[in-house]
Chain A
């Protein structure tokens, strides 16, 4: 197998890995913000699909991947508005709403896709930024350092979220809203505003996660293309308890197993491909089992806040 470890092979391996990591990372970061603020967003799957579809449509219409990502963000946020109004403002049940958003996202994007793109799908070629010098390093140059600029922007966004949660008054309010909203209220903060921002940001990140998937990973939209990635994001979020660096580690693990599966197929290992495509999900389940004890669910997660109610 050692003859397989050519620079080209390694390069492909890393690129596949990144393709697996990014959508999950972005979605989990969005879910983390929501969950830290006390909102369990089960609609993330639907938000990702909306982002993936809108991103695809905007990119085809405008020809710009960047505008496409922006469209994806708008798509995700539009879906999160349902959550915002019905749950955060009106206090409806988050679980029911989340499932409704997922089903709506799946249905709406499928119908629109059938209507507009089913005959004559256009595929999108990702751009790539060749970083001077670095992109010439064998193996990692052709993978890490010639990614799209969007890749770098998304990494920066994830880091910004991590440091905002830890170091700003806004982050503190988010964390308090998810642990003891009455304390935030009594301290003069606004639980409604804080949670509203968290919901919208959750929509934003799920949206760009979905758009990343359709634009930069697959190069096209197909119905149900997220294949449960949103649910995996929920698991990742629960495991990492608000720590974005753990979100990153688990996402990388997921991307790595996905790339490993592809590599095994390339290497001609005779395992049924269905088993190989199960691998990333199995790994996440294994992680969940091993660290099940560290899954911490805040007592107010999923509960709407009413001032003065005990």
Chain B
């Protein structure tokens, strides 16, 4: 590996606007070799846009990038690579049907595949990262931690001077994060610059040599390495939090609450314990196997019992049958074997509408397409699952007054920010769309609700609102099946956590407050990577 040249990559006054939003507003940063530079900010703060500009996926509207003092234009990922900028994207860029080594060789030039040389290079990088990866296994078969190591190896394939890690930790267990931190340390010791993007304060503090805080597309705070070293942990946290929330700090509930929101400490359980021996089982899945669709993983022999008042979490890497599980419960997918029971009654053969009427609800993770109809009004979207029912429809005719009254009530109750009930749903932000979905599914006799990645891509305040709604729903006696790829969220909210892998529940962990994340992690590793 060529020795990376010491130096600095500077972003100067970067501005990038998308229709309706300024994603980056006059952001300037210096990325120094041998340092871990943390970019901290909540969803929508502009972190990913900034990275895609550095990676050559987007061009800035204005502003320049300078490498060692000379201005450059990074117009394509290829150019970024030529400058030694390697990116590990938030979403996996491995091709699942190719092997590890094929994934790594992708993008090389020359006619024949140089597999031998590639394997030697992988060995070299494995030593550097402190990981062992079988070059011939399919990318789809790797566990999450390994997948990430391959992604890092890929980012550094042609010799990198700056490694960008975009939200690498969301589904990693504490020990896997520890491994990652060690790998990063080894890389910076070699003189590499690392950009570490996160929305968790504790990671920014523990990993970063310096921290830049983004909010609403602007750079609102910077702690240099000297400052960070001279502060105590509490001082540093306060400084970062003030930057993160600014004048909203009070609205976020003061420093302590804000620290909690920003993930300052390790996640701990935040729901009261419930004695389930006295609670009835509301939802019961017995050896349920679903029909697969072309692309995603089918559910195999899943058995789950959820009591009234319980939040049952499902942890796992995205795409391991979570959607299948949710849809089998909601009635959107047929169970080919096994039975689904609600309150003791077999509902396996019932359709979505009948289950809906019984009180089985589903909040999909595909808010934009499956969850809402963008071209319809917010009011109609709130009523989507009650079409044709009295008093909103009479003799096949819509009763607009009744629909609007109900909609206004829900908009108020769930603090949905919309100009009016008749605004098209497509105009709402992601957070408000999610509130629309929750208002629709949680209201009106809901007893079981399946929520699929309920806080994905939402800002911290909405995240907290969603969490509160779920908690309230459970403490009022509802049963929740919470599917998430955020381990912290599961640990905070669930009474029990089942781990799903390749469509099967490979283990269930009681969330009793002792090392839950670690235990969940054990199942995730065991389930996806036998004998590893």
Contacts and interface: CB of A to CB of B under 8 A. Distances in A.
Q: Do A and B interact?
A: yes
Task: Report whether over half of chain A's contact residues are helix, strand or loop; otherwise say mixed.
Answer: helix
A184 B294 CA distance: 23
Interface range for A: 20 to 34
B96 A179 contact: yes
Nearest to A164: B111
Contact of B97 (A168, A179, A308): A179
B82 to A, nearest CB: 8
A299 interface: yes
Interface string B101-124: 011011111111100000000000
Task: Report whether over half of chain B's contact residues are helix, strand or loop; otherwise say mixed.
Answer: loop
B37 interface: no
Contacts of B107: 173, 184, 187-189
A175 interface: yes
A169 interface: yes
B58 A308 contact: yes
A169 B77 contact: no
Interface string A151-180: 000000000000000011110110110011
A190 to B, nearest CB: 8
B113 A188 contact: no
A184 B112 contact: no
B295 A189 contact: no
Interface-central residue, B52, B55, B94, B106, by most chain A CB under 10 Å: B106
B98 A169 contact: no
B154 interface: yes
B113 A167 contact: yes
Contacts of A172: 98, 102, 105-106, 113
Contacts of B57: 185-186, 307-308
Contact of A183 (B78, B95, B110): B95
A169 B76 CA distance: 20
Contact of A188 (B52, B77, B94, B96): B77
B87 interface: yes
A180 B111 contact: no
B89 interface: yes
B111 A168 contact: yes
Interface string B263-302: 0000000000000000000000000000000110000000
Contacts of A180: 93-96
A1 B111 CA distance: 53
A8 B81 CA distance: 64
Contacts of A190: 78
Contacts of A299: 294-295
A196 to B, nearest CB: 16
A284 interface: no
8 contacts: A169-B109, A169-B113, A173-B107, A176-B95, A180-B93, A186-B87, A187-B77, A299-B294
Given A186-B93, A187-B106, 10 more contacts: A169-B108, A169-B112, A172-B105, A173-B106, A179-B96, A183-B94, A183-B95, A186-B87, A187-B93, A188-B81
Interface of B: 52, 55, 57-58, 76-78, 81, 87, 89, 93-98, 102-103, 105-113, 154, 294-295
